[in-house]
Amino acid sequence: MQTSRSNRTRVCVPVCEKDLAALQNSCERAAEWADLIELRLDCLKDLPDDAVRVLNNFSRPVILTFRPTEQGGHRDSSRAERQAFWTSVAPHVKADWWDVEGDLVAELSLNSPRLIVSHHDFTGVPEDLEQIYERLASARAAVVKIAVQANDITDCLAVFHLLDLARSEGRELIAIAMGNAGIATRILGPSRGSFLTYGALDDDSATAPGQVNAPKLRSLYHVDGIDRETMICGLVGLPVMHSVSPHVHNAAFVAEEINGVYLPFEVRDAKEFFRRMVHPRSRELNWNLRGLSITAPHKQTVMECLDWIDPKAEEIGAVNTVVVDQDRLFGYNTDADGFIDPLLHRFKSLRDARVAIVGAGGAARAAMYALRKQRARVTLFARDIMKAQPVAEFFEVSCESISGASFDGYDFVVNATPLGSGGHIDQSPLTVEQLNGVWCVYDLIYNPRETRLMREAHAVGCKTLGGLEMLIAQAKLQFELWTGKKPSAGAMEHALRNVL
Ligand code: NAP
């Protein structure tokens, strides 16, 4: 479903197909999500004579593009071929805009419709970015387009600054940081003045690195509703693109009628990200950042970047939630409460319950903290006992090696390893034999909903509980910390139904 398009956000869907029939078909599909269609004629294997006739019937304004390979196109065309295209072929296509590369535009005498003059850099952010922008702007451009590769999330800063500059000069600019680290520029760009943002037709049709698909731009990130007042939240980690958290939190923003958006922030160096983009006293970006979820591998590192840490998070030794309040940063941990919540819903008391926690990372620490508070009897099981021993000692629980261990007689076995998800989807941390005599397996993995461990546990008669309830419980607490509102779990669950 499309949301209402209230502000001036424009989503342009590039259509890049090898033959005319596919091109026409994709243009029709694109029209559902697009304000404009970018006709990428460099993708066509050849330009047949009837192309012009076929290419004159669009239900959306069209940007005509003929990109050479070195600027991210699909055609290894010579300069002469490019010139011939713009002077002989393009004038016969009914387009509203031509997007011509800056290196070519000066030497063409074009009788064009409105002109987008573009520059692409697939290696990084050039040092002379502003000079490039000035040069393109002086080339009779109605709109300047600059797309650079973000090798780090802080590369977004140069793009946002360029948008501020163009806005202050009253010039139209499309500025994009490509790659996963640049996604914030694609989602927030229009609210900061970008003339448009590009959205792929679907996940398989992206024409540039990091291009979010148009249905997601509109129905997950609600780009049409984002403005300068929008409260910005996001997930900091590496990797983050697989995360379902944007579905959970963006659904809650809609359900609670809060002008907010939640984005994935792919961050390699958390300290630099916090210094240059997050901390209100040092950041180089004026944006309405309110809250962050923190995931692996940054839950410990970010603790050094905060002004205040909740004693519970301090004791767990990990922060998974950050609140930006005026000029200070506050850190919390919602994993512990999120972990215990589904258990307390089912069992009156966990006192003296025998619990085995498998894995000794961040989730295990939160689980141990919560279970110790409930006075459960906890044992930590790890593959590397030397590494896990200090963790176990910190939480005053015993520690054993997983291999060869017996779990017979345990009330709960908690999987706090990644085995069963992602690249480990077919794996389980326990053998089927080790499941004998276990009463309930609680797998913290939520994607897939049912892991191999859960299937095998079920088959030998154990009760099972997956990680989805924990995900929602901890997300609800995060949302409340950022907004002061208790979100309904229903909206969050509903959003996940489509993706899990
Ligand atoms: P983490 O900090 O990276 O810790 C992972 C732990 O698993 C480490 O102790 C690691 O051992 C161990 N491990 C990894 N591969 C293993 C293997 N092949 N055999 C045995 N142990 C192995 O990760 P985390 O943040 O704790 O997350 C763990 C899992 O919980 C993830 O799947 C995550 O998605 C899930 N989780 C779910 C929720 C939720 O809301 N449902 C919340 C948080 C986490 P080494 O130290 O030896 O590498």
Secondary structure element (H or E) that encloses residue 14, with its range: strand 11-15
Ligand 1 atom with the smallest distance to the CA of 469 is: 41
Diameter of the chain measured on Cα atoms: 83
The residues that bridge with 200 in the sheet, in sequence order, are: 213
pLDDT at 99: 96
Pocket flag, ligand 1, residue 420 (CB < 6 Å) = no
* Phi, psi for 138 (deg, rounded to 5): -80, -5
Q: Which residue in 237, 248, 250, 338 sits closest to 294, CA to CA? A: 237
Q: Which helix (H) or strand (E) holds 148?
A: strand 143-149
Per-residue pLDDT at 4 exceeds 70: no
pTM for this model (two decimals)? 0.94
Least confident stretch, 67-76, 123-132, 171-180, 400-409: 67-76
Residues 59/85, Cβ–Cβ less than 8 Å:
no
Query: For 313-372, what is each residue's pLDDT tens digit?
Result: 999 999 999 999 999 999 999 999 999 999 999 999 999 999 999 999 999 999 999 999
Question: By CB neighbour count within 10 A (0-12 exposed, 13-18 middle, 19+ buried), where does 498 fall?
Answer: exposed
Distance from Cα 306 to the centre of ligand 1, integer Å: 24
Under 8 Å between Cβ of 378 and 395: yes
* Distance (Å, whole) CA 291 – CA 331: 10
Q: Identify whether the C-beta of residue 184 lies closer than 8 Å to the C-beta of residue 240.
A: no
In the reported structure, the alpha carbon of residue 48 is separated from the centroid of ligand 1 by a whole-number distance in angstroms of 55
- The C-alpha atoms of residue 468 and residue 457 are separated, in whole angstroms, by 17
Q: Is 404 exposed, middle or buried (0-12, 13-18, 19+ CB in 10 A)?
A: exposed
pLDDT tens sequence across 228-255: 999 999 999 999 998 999 999 999 999 9
| Pair 454, 443: CB distance under 8 Å | yes
Q: Using the mean position of ligand 1's atoms as its centre, give its distance from the Cα of residue 416 in Å.
A: 5
> 123 burial class (0-12, 13-18, 19+ CB within 10 angstroms)?
exposed
Indicate whether residue 449 lines ligand 1 (CB < 6 A).
no
Please indicate whether residue 335, judged by its CB atom, sits closer than 6 Å to ligand 1. yes
User: Going by C-beta distance under 8 Å and a sequence separation of 6 or more, which residues neighbour residue 223?
Assistant: 9, 11, 187, 190, 191, 197, 217
Question: Quick check: 112 pLDDT over 80?
Answer: no
Position 3 pLDDT exceeds 50: no
pLDDT at 109 over 90: no
416 Cβ below 6 A of ligand 1: yes
DSSP H or E stretch at residue 12:
strand 11-15
What's the confidence (pLDDT) of residue 426?
96
49 pLDDT band (50/70/90 cuts)? low
Q: Are 145 and 116 in contact (CB under 8 A)?
A: yes
- Catalytic annotation, pick one of 299, 463, 485, 486: 299
For ligand 1, is residue 421 a contact (CB within 6 Å)? Answer: yes
Minimal-distance CA residue to ligand 1 atom 30? 416
Q: Is 483 helix (H, G, I), strand (E, B) or coil?
A: helix
| Mean pLDDT value across residues 43-63 | 81
**Residue from 337, 383, 332, 322 nearest 357 by CA:** 383
Rg from Cα positions in the chain: 26
**Is any atom of ligand 1 closer than 6 Å to the C-beta of 471?**
yes
Counting ligand 1 atoms within 8 A of each CB, the residue from 240, 339, 444 with the most, and so the one to mutate, is 444
The pLDDT assigned to 350 comes to: 98
Q: How far apart are CA 496 and CA 500, in angstroms?
A: 6
The pLDDT mean for the chain works out to: 94
Secondary structure of 388-438 in the HEC alphabet?
HHHHHHHCCCEEEECCCCCCCCCCEEEECCCCCCHHHCCCCCCCCHHHCCC
Q: Is the beta carbon of 215 within 6 A of some atom in ligand 1? A: no
pLDDT higher than threshold 80 for residue 438 = yes
Distances (CA, A) of 265 to 28, 147, 270: 32, 19, 10
396 CA → ligand 1 middle, Å: 20
Whose CA is closest to 334, among 293, 375, 298? Answer: 293
Give pLDDT, residue 58: 83
Atom number, ligand 1, closest to the C-alpha of residue 358: 21
Ligand 1 centre from 363 Cα, in Å?
7
- Identify the burial level of 50 via C-beta atoms within 10 angstroms of its C-beta, where 0-12 means exposed, 13-18 middle and 19 or more buried: exposed
Q: Is the CB of 384 under 6 A from ligand 1?
A: yes
User: Is position 299 annotated as part of the catalytic site?
Assistant: yes
pLDDT in tens, 247-301: 999 999 999 999 999 999 999 999 999 999 999 999 999 999 999 999 999 999 9
Bridge partners, 176 (sequence order): 147
